[in-house]
A and B are shown apart, each in its own frame.
Chain A
Amino acid sequence: MALLEIKNMRVEFPGRHGTFTAVEDVSLDVNEGEIVGLVGESGAGKSTIGNAILKLLQAPGRLAAGEVWLKGERIDQLSDHEMLNVRGKRISMIFQDPMTSLNPIETIEYQLVETILTHLDISEAEATRRAIDLLDQVGIPNPAERIKQYPHQFSGGMRQRVVIALALSVEPELIIADEPTTALDVTIQAQILDLIKELCRSRNLGVILVTHDMGVIAETADRVAVMLRGKLIELGPTQQVINAPQELYTQSLIAAVPPSNKKIDRFPKVATEDSEGSALQNFDLSGHWLVRGDTYSTGGKSLLEVKGLKKRFQVTNAILARNRTYIDAINDISFDVQAGETFGLVGESGSGKSTVARVITGIYPATGGTMRFAEHDLTSAESRAEKQKVRRDIQMIFQDPYSSLNGRMRIGSIVAEPIVVNKLAGSTEERKEVVADLLELVGLGKDAARKYPHEFSGGQRQRISIARALATRPRFLICDEPTSALDVSIQAQILNLLKDLQDQLKLTLLFISHDLPVIRQMCDRVGVMRHGDLVEVAETEMLFETPQHSYTQALIGEMPKFAK
């Protein structure tokens, strides 16, 4: 008998525009000592299944049909009061964000001991001993001392370990881990996944691992369930699903995952109904407005040269200079970018890679060092108008597609704004034509101009963002984590689009990402950043095959391997 059995589960969210079925007819079972991966793109209903098992659906969501059995006992009909004995005690949950799943005003000890005492009938001293023991098991050094500390005194990875200890504290039979490593850096992700795997084996736990990340599934899960729009479309052993997917959707999903072991030219196009925009189709650009910009030679030198760049932020203000505190986001980094290449910057959160982008574009002033772009010195003090002439050539695509577009403007005005501000079009007709062409070029079609940003999905918004950046006729495009907020199939489309645009418009790219497989697909050369330092710069293939610096070696060693 399986540990957990879900039979024909159906979850509905009644709303203003009719009833939305988030989960439809899903049947799934989890055995003891087994990790079942639940994978799918945003909105597929994978988290909803986890919440429905625990009866934690947000109102007005409800379990409309189906049964949930835990060890032969039906739990979907239990009252809220009876559920208290299931939640936390028999089924625990690990949430995505370790920053918010612990109570910041209580010590770790209080939170662990309180949980243990609620569910188990033991003395407080015994509970404390048990809590320390748990922290030790999840790999927290000096557990007896650290248990007295507050959540903010732990790093993100350590905090997620505490959350896991909390989930284990009452000896559950099943753990539902909802994107447990999504908020963590890649080196910590590997440790947490190993921990979950090890605990699953040693305690014979059942684990449901909800994630959007195929790499995580490939490394961790025994069986995979693939979800698409609320339906479970494929279920099987991990190796079989990854290597020989049966369903068209699974095939396209797996084709879209950037392989970590080799560079491919373009992501293969697998026909799905979900394609959000067409790719470039023989768009004749010769003599077009887009390629009519000023050209200037770099005289055989690099297009962008950064020397000894420093950026320091003031953290606290004080009247006396010596009382002010600073943080150095970038310490003395130097690199150059050749015309036409894609230079990658990779690093974990807080390594300063986004700051580099913002200093180059001039959003933040540099604290020290020099930057040369073609024949212009970007750091010298020039008038705003003169600066703008150079800056027009450097544009940026942002990470968050939801905050990078002004929600009160129509798409047409958003894309036209750079043309208007820089007076790049001779007439209103020309401007309208160029905007229509740009929208066509990024695969949205010119009808998009009349709509507002909220009518578009994340991937489509990112295309609008690209069209806006291209509207100044830039030569240098900075992509700051352009796909980290997107689903993997959309990511593949956007990355293909960027490559196509680069070829057609002879763009130079600075590509910033924390995602190593993506970097491998996109970049010619890569710089690795850590705590504001550039620790290694190398050709992409050299970097992945023979990393020199110990930090690069660690990064590449820990990245989830996904090879087809």
Chain B
Amino acid sequence: MDRIKRALDSDLFYSYKSSPLALVSSIVAAILIFSAVFAPLVAPHNPFDPGSLNLMNGFSEPMVPNAFTGDTFMLGTDDQGRDVFSTILYGMRISLFVGFAAVVFAMTIGIVLGLTAAYAGGRIDSFIMRIADVQLTFPSILVAMLVFGIAKGITPVHLRDQVAIWVLIISIGLSDWVQFARVVRGAALVEKSKEYVEAAILIGRGPAGIVFRHILPNVLSPVLVIATISLALAIISEATLSFLGVGAPPTSPSLGTLIRVGQGFLFSGEWWILFFPAMTLLLLALSVNLLGDWLRDALNPKLDD
């Protein structure tokens, strides 16, 4: 109870309450994430159950009863008669899972390398940060495609579809660790020069104790900001890769896959197959990004007063 009271009284919560942008974007993000996580309960159909599909329902327009079966679909159906609303929910599940997992992966690498660079200093620092610099000279989508291509090359054909999601997570994570490492290193350098670190040395804490018990908890707030913004970017990266056909396999379509499939129908009049997945992606990325933006301002000590 004490903790909840403290949290409700914190400056962060106050800033949250008084920012309409943060309120709206967090509500939108929460609804999207909730409906994706509980897709099997929320979705009216299971798009992966062929038994529930009726080809006669193909190309139903949104909110218009189907001419043959009389069924009405809120967001219409695709060529196979799959409910677009349900495929979006299931697709968003995959997009979000890949996004979260990629960010956690990137964050872990970034924090470990950033802390190591800052605390060790000297050559180790130069070595890690030069690698980061070199990687930054390539667009991250290229890095992700490169990793994805190599992984595809070395996995046996019959396993490809099963490992595709994990390969996607690793390739996005590897393309995104650099900013975590940079932010953590910068913050850790500041913390390292503070006197509480010297005090910890004097009482006999070893390097690992100092880095993980003392420095790490103090660099987490910028990491939280980067993680939120990175989540939006990772979701978009995943969608981009899937759109290009190198991401999520057709057996487990993500939002990007849906957009790729949908674009084939755009000029034949079935706009809803493309439009609704694309709008969902936009809403998801935008709300998460705005949330990250607000968090950055709220946690910035310079904007305190």
* A363, A409, A417, A472: the one within 8 Å of B198 (CB): A363
Chain B, range 130-149, C-beta contacts under 8 Å to A: none
Main secondary structure of the interface of A (DSSP, over half): loop
Q: Is the CB of A404 within 8 A of B14?
A: no
Contacts of A418 in B (CB 8 A): 203-204
The reply to whether A363 and B201 contact each other, CB–CB distance below 8 Å, is: yes
How many Å from the CB of A281 to the closest CB on chain B?
Answer: 27
B199 touches A388 (CB 8 A): no
Q: Is the CB of B195 within 8 A of A388?
A: no
Chain B residue numbers with a CB within 8 Å of A358 are 198
Is B156 close to A, CB under 8 A?
no
A417–B199 CA distance with the chains assembled, in angstroms: 11
**B217 and A403 contact, CB distance less than 8 A:** no
B11, B209, B305: residue with the most chain A Cβ atoms closer than 10 Å: B305
Partner of A16, one of B14, B204, B205, B206: B14
Complex contacts, A403 vs chain B, CB 8 Å: 194-196
Range for the number of chain A residues in contact with chain B:
20 to 34
Contact in complex: B195, A400 (CB < 8 Å): yes
For the complex, is A250 an interface residue (Cβ under 8 Å from B)? no
Q: Assess A408 versus B202: contact at CB under 8 Å? Given A398-B195, A400-B195, A403-B196.
A: no
Interface pair A422/B204, CB less than 8 Å apart: yes
Interface members, chain B 185-201 (any A CB < 8 Å) = 194-196, 198-201
Within 8 A of B (CB), among A378-408: 384, 388, 391-392, 394-396, 398-400, 403-408
Q: Which residue of chain B has its CB nearest to the CB of A471?
A: B203
Complex contact B218–A406 (CB within 8 A): yes
Verify A388–B204 contact, CB threshold 8 A: yes
Please indicate the chain B residues that have their CB under 8 angstroms from the CB of A404 in the complex: 194-196, 198-199
Instruction: List, in ascending order, chain A residues with CB within 8 A of B14's CB.
Output: 16
Residues 197-230 of chain B: 1 if any A CB is under 8 Å from the residue's CB, otherwise 0?
0111111111001000010011000000000000
* A342 interface hit (Cβ, 8 Å): no
The one of A58, A392, A394, A468 in contact with B199, judged by C-beta atoms closer than 8 angstroms, is: A468
How many angstroms from the CA of A417 to the CA of B218 in the assembled complex?
17
A496 CB-CB contact with B under 8 Å: no
**A16–B17 Cα gap in the complex (Å)?**
12
User: For the complex, what is the distance from the CA of A398 to the CA of B205, rounded to whole Å?
Assistant: 17
Interface string of A405-447 (1 = CB under 8 A from B): 1111100000001100110000000000000000000000000
The answer for the CA separation of A542 and B196 in the assembled complex, in Å, is 37
**Contact yes or no, B202 A391, CB < 8 A:** yes
Q: CA–CA, A427 to B124, complex, Å?
A: 40
Contact between A406 and B195 (Cβ–Cβ < 8 Å)?
Answer: no
Contact A465 B218, CB 8 Å, known A58-B305, A418-B204, A421-B205: no
- Contact indicator B218/A395 (Cβ below 8 Å): no
- A460 beta carbon closer than 8 Å to chain B: no
Q: How far is the CA of A365 from the CA of B14 in the complex (A)?
A: 47
Q: Known A16-B14, A406-B214, A408-B218; judge A396-B202 contact (CB<8 A).
A: yes
6 interchain residue pairs of minimum CB distance = A404-B195, A418-B203, A408-B217, A398-B195, A403-B194, A388-B204
Q: Which residues of B contact A (CB under 8 A)?
A: 11, 14, 194-196, 198-206, 209, 214, 217-218, 305
Q: List 22 A-B contacts (CB under 8 A).
A: A16-B11, A391-B204, A392-B203, A396-B202, A398-B199, A400-B195, A404-B196, A404-B198, A406-B200, A408-B217, A408-B218, A417-B200, A418-B203, A421-B203, A421-B205, A422-B203, A422-B204, A465-B199, A468-B199, A468-B203, A471-B203, A472-B203
A sample of 14 more A-B contacts (CB under 8 A), given A363-B202, A396-B198, A406-B214, is A16-B11, A58-B305, A361-B202, A363-B201, A392-B203, A395-B202, A396-B202, A404-B199, A406-B217, A406-B218, A421-B209, A422-B203, A468-B199, A472-B204
